[in-house]
Amino acid sequence: MASTYLTRTPSVAGDRKTWTWSAWIKKSTIAVAPAVTLFGAKEGGFPEILYFTSDDTLVWQHDISGTDYLVTISNRLFRDTNAWYHIVLTKDTTQSTASDRVKIYINGEQQTLTGSQLGFPGQNYEGAVNNNVTHTIGNWEGNSYYFNGSMSHIHFIDGTAYDASYFGSTDSVTGEWKINTSPSVTYGTNGFFILKDGNSVTDQSGNSNNFTVGGGTLTKTEDNPSN
């Protein structure tokens, strides 16, 4: 995507307490300062954003009552530019246990979330994602934190927190995490499925929640997680 990003502003707010974001990504560069964005939204100056830092850790940054918190996967670095990573981020603030309100899965495995500014949303807390504000993929609105690489099979689920098993499975022979190209999920009002088989930003979920290329050129590549 280099200096390219995608953008969409929902016409109405969806479920801001419970949702799922799933995508397959392949990095072209590492150690990019200050960060590279995968997905996010912000309401006023208050963000919810998933990104790689300059040291190649993965961070979910979210605002709680005017304070930014960083939910970090600190026990692994994302520096393989030859492999596809499958990332699933779920949010469900209706959960009574704080640590159950944000979960991140990498290649099917739930990750341990840490960080010096670790903080989970309060019960029933509503954030910027799935509000009727600008949502971006591949950059953070108003900044130049572009993702440089490939993305494929991006799903957003409005109203349900799905784990990674809906979007992939472990190959019984090779042990490799492989893609489910047609997951059985309920997308909800603002849910979408883009970049299914190429560089189309037309929603394949049936909701017509299409994205727009916000800048640059979205290039099609035959390198993809579904072979």
* Residue % of the chain over a pLDDT of 70: 98
The better pLDDT of the pair 200, 33 is held by: 200
Indicate whether 82 pLDDT > 80.
Answer: yes
Q: How far is CA 211 from CA 33, 98, 145, 170, 207, in A?
A: 27, 32, 19, 31, 12
- Buried b / exposed e along 27-47 (16+ C-beta atoms within 10 A): beebebeebbbbbbbbbeebb
Indicate whether 143 pLDDT > 90.
Answer: no
pLDDT at 83: 93
Indicate whether 1 pLDDT > 50.
Answer: no
Any bridge partners for residue 137, and if so which?
Answer: 6, 39
pLDDT at 33: 83
Beta carbons within 8 Å of 205's beta carbon, 6+ residues apart: 155, 187, 191, 192, 193
pLDDT at 173: 93
User: What is the spatial distance between Cα 159 and Cα 173, in angstroms, rounded to a whole number?
Assistant: 35
Give the pLDDT confidence of 28-65 residue by residue, as tens digits: 999 888 889 999 998 877 889 999 999 999 999 988 77
Query: What value, to the nearest 5°, has the Cα angle with vertex 64 and ends 57 and 36?
Result: 30
User: What average pLDDT score do residues 141-158 get?
Assistant: 91
User: What average pLDDT score do residues 163-188 get?
Assistant: 96
Give the pLDDT confidence of 208-225 residue by residue, as tens digits: 999 999 988 898 988 888
**Dihedral sign from CA coordinates of 92, 156, 143, 111:** positive
Indicate whether 84 pLDDT > 70.
Answer: yes
pLDDT at 67: 78
